[in-house]
Amino acid sequence: MQNPATGHAVRLLRSGGDFFPALIDACDAARHEIWLETYIFADDASGRAVADALIRSVRRGVDVRVLIDGWGARLYLSKALEQRLNDAGVDLLLYRPELESQPFRFRRLRRLHRKLCHIDGKVAFIGGINIIDDMNAPGHTPPRIDFAVRVEGPMLAQITQTMRRVRALAELSQLQDITPDDEKHPAVTAPVGTMRAKLVVRDNLNHRHAIERAYLTALGHARHEAIIACAYFFPGWRFQKALIAAAQRGVKVTLLLQGRVEYKLMHYAVRTLYERLLNAGIEIQEYHRSFLHAKVAVIDDDFATIGSSNIDPYSFLMAREANVVVNDQGFTEQLRGALRELIKDGARPVLAAQWQQRTLKTRLLSTLSHITFRLIMAITGADPENGWFPMSREAKEVREQRA
C-alpha cells in the first residue's frame, strides 16, 4: 500500500454546518471544472444550496459534472431538482440507475457510496457527508453527526484520476460518450502544507480490501489508544481479532457506535458481537443524542482516517468507498477531541455486567438477526478470504497451499 505523502493541507469539517459552507465557497471560486460524486443528493435546504452553487458555476462557464448513485437518487433526488440541474447545464449522471422493470440482481448492491468532490483539481472534499441536510433525519432529532475533510496537495492527482475513471465506467455502461481527459487543467499537486496524507479507495478490482487493510495495519501497530466511530459496525472475524489483540496488548480501544435504531436487522445483529468485545476489555459507547453517521478513527498520536466507509460487509465487500488517511499529530488530536466530546455529551457506555443480564427475548432477537445478516452476506457473495466467516482448518490449509 502506498505510504502517505507529505505536502498536504487538511482541514477537518464537522457535519453539514462546516461542510456545506466550505463546499459552496469552493464552488463559487471555481474557474474551470467541478466534479462531484455522492450517494445522496436530496431536494432539501442543503441540497438546493449546493445545487444553486453548481448552477452559478455553470453560468460562469465552469464545467460541472455530478455523479449520483442510482439507488440513492431513487430515494432522495426529486425529479424537479434533477430537471433543474439538467436544464442549467450541469452534466448529471446516475451510477447504476435503478430501473423498476429490471429483475433483482445482487450485483446491483455494488453502489457508489463515495462522497468526493474536486474543484479545478486544486481543492478536494472527502468524507461521509452526503448532499443532504443534517436535520433531514428520522424524527428531526438534533443534527446528524458526520465528518469530512477539505484537502489540498499531492493527493489531488489521485483524486482527479479515480473520479475520471469511475465516471468513464458509468458512461460506458450506459452507452454514453466518455468524458475526455482535459490536459489543459491538470491537478495541482505542488506541496501546500506539511501534513502527510493519502487517499484510500475500495473498488472491485485492484483495491478490494485497501480500506480494511489500512485499519488493520494501524490497529496492528497501535500502542496506546484507538477510538473508532462508526455508524454501521459489523466487522468480520479478522477485524474483530485485530481489535481484541490491540486491547490485549494494553491499548485502550473505544468503539463509538450508533445507539438509535435506524435499520433493525443491523441494529440487533451487531449486538451479538458485544459480549466478545466487552470481555476482551474493549469499551463500547452508544451514541443516543442524534443519528451518528460518522466513519472515522484515531489511533495513537498520528493516525486518523475520515471517509465514506463503514466497518461492515456493504462497505468492505460491495460498495465503492473513499477514505483519507492523515498522519499528523495536530490533526489527530483535533479529531480525537471531537470524538471525546461526542462520547461525553451524547453517548452511554455499554457495561459488561449489565449486558449479561439481557432478557432471553433480546438475546434471541439478536441471534436471529445475526444469522439472517450472515445469510444475506453468503447469498450476496461475501468473500470468505476477507475474514467475514470463520474458516475451517482444512479451508485455511488449502488457501495457504494456493498462496
Cα within 13 Å of Cα(216), Cβ side: 17
Is the four-CA dihedral 135, 140, 143, 146 of positive or negative sign? negative
Q: Which of 118, 198, 267, 295 is catalytic?
A: 295
Active-site entry in 8, 43, 69, 115: 115
CB count, 10 Å around CB of 59?
10
Contacts by residues 83-90 (CB-CB < 8 Å, ≥ 24 positions apart): 84/51, 84/55, 85/51, 85/54, 85/55, 88/54, 88/55, 88/58, 88/59, 89/55, 89/58, 89/64, 90/54, 90/55, 90/58, 90/64, 90/65, 90/66
293 counts as catalytic: yes
Q: Which of 146, 293, 312, 328 does the annotation list as catalytic?
A: 293
Task: Report the SS3 class of residue 240.
Answer: helix
Q: Are 23 and 51 in contact (CB under 8 A)?
A: no
Give dist(CA 35, CA 37) in Å, integer.
Answer: 7
Active-site option among 300, 301, 302, 383: 300
115 included as an active-site residue: yes
Specify the residue for cell string 459480549. Answer: 275
Name the active-site residue from 120, 134, 203, 328: 120
How far does Cα 365 stand from its chain's mean position? Answer: 28
CA-CA-CA-CA torsion for 169, 174, 179, 181, nearest 10 degrees? Answer: 20
- Give the bridge partners for 150, in sequence order: 11, 125
Is residue 88 within 8 A of residue 66, CB to CB? The reply is: no
Question: Residues near 178 by Cβ (< 8 Å), separated by ≥ 6?
Answer: 168, 171, 172
What are the backbone dihedrals phi and psi of residue 34, each rounded to the nearest 5 degrees, phi first?
Answer: -130, 125
32 is catalytic: no
| Interatomic CA distance for residues 235 and 314, integer angstroms | 11
Q: How far apart are CA 315 and CA 313, in angstroms?
A: 6
Annotated active-site residue 113? The verdict is yes
Q: Which three cell numbers stand for residue 258?
A: 450508533
Choosing from 8, 113, 118, 122, the catalytic residue is 113
What phi-psi label fits residue 200: left (phi over 0), alpha (psi between -120 and 50 degrees) or beta?
beta
Active-site residues, by number, are: 113, 115, 120, 293, 295, 300
